[in-house]
Each structure stands twice: as structure tokens, then as C-alpha cells.
Chain A
């Protein structure tokens, strides 16, 4: 059974600081997705990582995938308040099936 675990589950950080969210998964998969959810809102796609070593960056966020370690990271550089949200990683259940297993989510709070 595929399990996806994120840590930390809650992160409070100061503006301007850097931090990394980790996403570990339990079985082989080479497709991983990162989503953002604002309180009471829907999910917004951030990154799609489709191969080992994939790295993608958008603004202050950078995501990477290591399929051998079954690990993805979401790195936040010089955090700003607007990045406050819950971040989910999701892994394709058996590789290219579209059946995603989501992590529990990491709630990020950026304080001025």
C-alpha cells in the first residue's frame, strides 16, 4: 500500500527565512505533484515532477524529486506572508495511473 508522509505538518517561520518541506513515499513511483491550498479554497497545482532528478522552480518555491530515495522536497527561499497556505504532495499510485495518494499536508504560516 502506497503511503505518503509529509513533514513537518505545521511550520511557522519568519519572513525572509528559508525552509524545506519533505515528502516521503513508500513504494516506487516516478510521478509526484505539489499543490497549494488556501484556507477554505480549492487546490492549485504548483509543480509536476515526472522523473528522477527533476527540479522545478517558480518564484520563491523550488521542488525536486529523488525517486531512488522516494523523496521530494519543496524549498522555500526568503519566505513572504503570501506563501502562507497548506502544501500537499501527491504521488501517482502505481505510476502513470492518475490515481493520486496525497500526503497529510504541511500548513505554512509566515510571520512578518
Chain B
């Protein structure tokens, strides 16, 4: 049981480049989330999904898009990366709204 996995672990992009971060969970969870963590701050919710085929905006959605084509996968896309998107990105999943969220190991993204 791998839990929540994220690909890649590290990435460096140039301004204007695009990329997709992949999150996968093997716990059959309905709910999945993407957060970003910046130094000295807590996590901020970017987008989330309450089930396969659904997505919704969180606190800081601008500059990001997401897709949930399969229940176990949640993709986060950056169409045109900006230095302000340099951050550590965490994916999480939960069985139900009342249960804790399980977090992946994170992706450290640097945009130069």
C-alpha cells in the first residue's frame, strides 16, 4: 500500500514553460486536494476534487488547472510557469470529509 505518491519529486522550470504534476493514491479515496507550501506559511489549497470527473477551486487557484479523469489520479497543471509559483506542492486524499487527509511526499518546484 503506497498511500499517496507524487511525480516528480523535484523540477526546475523556466518562466513560461508548462508542466504537469501527477498525484496517485491507492486507498480508493473519493476526495483529493492540491496544496502549495511557501516558507514560513501553512499550506494553501489550490484546487480539490470530490470525486472522479469533478474539480473545484480552492484558496489560490489562479495560474493552475487540474483534472481528475480517474479516481486514483489527480493532475495539477501549470500552463505558463511564473517565479511566484516556486513552492513545494503537496497532494492529499481523504476517504470522507470528516476524515483526515493523507499527504504525499511533495514536489519541490523552482521557476527561474
Contacts and interface: CB of A to CB of B under 8 A. Distances in A.
Interface residues of A, number: 24
Interface stretch (A14-22, A67-75, A100-108): A100-108
A61 to B, nearest CB: 15
Nearest to B45: A99
B42 A90 contact: yes
Interface in A18-41: 31, 33, 35, 41
Given A97-B97, A98-B101, A99-B58, 16 more contacts: A4-B42, A31-B98, A42-B103, A42-B106, A43-B90, A48-B99, A96-B97, A98-B31, A98-B33, A98-B48, A99-B48, A100-B101, A101-B42, A102-B44, A104-B40, A104-B42
Interface of A: 4, 31, 33, 35, 41-45, 48, 50, 88, 90, 92, 96-105
Interface of B: 31, 33, 40-45, 48, 50, 58-59, 90, 92, 94, 97-106
